[in-house]
Amino acid sequence: MGQLKEQQLKQLNEHRYSCTSTSLMDPMMQRWWVWLVSKCPMWLAPNLITITGLLINIVTSLILIYYSPDAKEEVPWWTCFLCALGLFTYQSLDAIDGKQARRTGNSSPLGELFDHGCDSLSTVFVSLSVCCAVQLGTHANWMFFQCMMAVTLFYCAHWQTYVSGTLRFGFIDVTEAQFGVMAILMVSSVFGSSFWSSKVPSTALTLKCVPIICGTIAGSVAMYHNFQIILIERGAGRNGSTVAGTSVLSPIVPLFSILAPSLIIAWRSPDGIYQHNPTLYLLTFGMVAARVTNRLVVAHMTKSEMEYIDSSLMGPVILFLNQCLNCPISEHVLLWIVCAYVVYDLIKYCYEVCQEICVHLRIHLFTIVPKPQPSETTEKNGSSAKYNTRSTTIGKVN
């Protein structure tokens, strides 16, 4: 038994990428992205571009997190600068892989899935790195809220896509959010991460509350628009259902099975598992969220029902059962074990799905045979057929 059923693979052939965007900054970045992709050799596979950007993003984020694992300590200035550079690199490479796919004649559903899978991981590491850069660990509850809101927004963006069949980006969306994060990282690099602990003049608030408030407002607006589509507009399926013909509310179950355990386990932990290991705890649940979101993307692309049971949820279940049994295993040790398991489970799932699609479509993941397209007029005009758009943090499509 593979990860994908035969019927899912057949329906994958019928999938067509659909996206709309009113992003403020995407049109301004087009000239840079078009120039950058023109410098890529024709033999360079689009997915190789995507994974390279992701690895750079993850490594630079982990370096920053290493110096402040509790998100409370001052970090070296260069770690913030390196993280900002890594995010810009990821953004740029994430924006050109779809262009490279069209340029070489290698567009495929695999590219869309691979891109969104990488974006789901980037969301987790970017949210953790910015928390460390502003020492948000001193406000542990806000740090929890910000990181879980980021993965929830990413999930809901694909939830509305599963309902409407079209991925939609607003006026202030992922590109704008990424530049906001880069600005925060650069401020921390120049003035130090302790800068954010300074008081806002004439108030009792610290400066770190400013990006929290801005992020919460932007996230609330994005969430409102997503649920407006999910609950008010008719779905793309039969009788207003999802593209798979299921209830538009069905994806709430997997989301709830991530958010509820993350709150309960942190709240009832006798050892303060979250307070003592905030970045590790949020990374663990972020990986679970990435796994479940990838399954939602697959369900959308294959027009199939999303199953509620997921193997990655075994991690939170083990943590919860350990608490119910009065913690016979140290929670801190068990958290490391669970984190390793969910990371392995996510990588295994992504690898198997990609391999199955490669076999089905008779293509390779990281190598291509260039087939230059006769025209790239759409790309040069920055058309709304945006293979180079991203969700929070969504990417383009091959």
Whether 358 and 110 have beta carbons less than 8 Å apart is answered as yes
Q: Residue 238: count other Cβ atoms within 10 Å of its Cβ.
A: 11
Mean pLDDT of 342-353: 96
Three-class secondary structure of residue 282 per DSSP: helix
Residue type, 23: S
Cα(215)–Cα(223) distance, rounded to whole angstroms?
A: 12
pLDDT digits (tens, 9 = 90+) for 268-308: 999 999 999 999 999 999 999 999 999 999 999 999 999 88
Burial tier of 188 (Cβ tally within 10 Å: 0-12, 13-18, 19+): buried
- Mean pLDDT over each residue of the chain, to the nearest integer: 90
Q: pTM here? A: 0.91
Give start and end residues of each alpha helix (H) in 39-139.
46-67, 77-104, 109-133
Whether 263 and 318 have beta carbons less than 8 Å apart is answered as no
Cα(152)–Cα(258) distance, rounded to whole angstroms?
A: 10
Q: Residue 21: count other Cβ atoms within 10 Å of its Cβ.
A: 21
The token pair that represents 21 in the structure block = 């965007």
pLDDT at 394: 35
Share of the chain above pLDDT 70, in %: 93
pLDDT at 96: 95
pLDDT digits (tens, 9 = 90+) for 82-109: 999 999 999 999 999 999 999 999 889 9
Round to the nearest angstrom and report the end-to-end CA distance of the chain: 27
Q: Which positions are catalytic?
A: 116
pLDDT digits (tens, 9 = 90+) for 217-235: 999 999 999 999 999 988 9
Whether 281 and 273 have beta carbons less than 8 Å apart is answered as yes
CA 173 to chain centre: 13
More confident residue, 377 or 36: 36
pLDDT at 171: 85
pLDDT digits (tens, 9 = 90+) for 348-388: 999 999 999 999 999 999 998 777 665 544 444 433 333 33
Residue with tokens 């984190």: 339
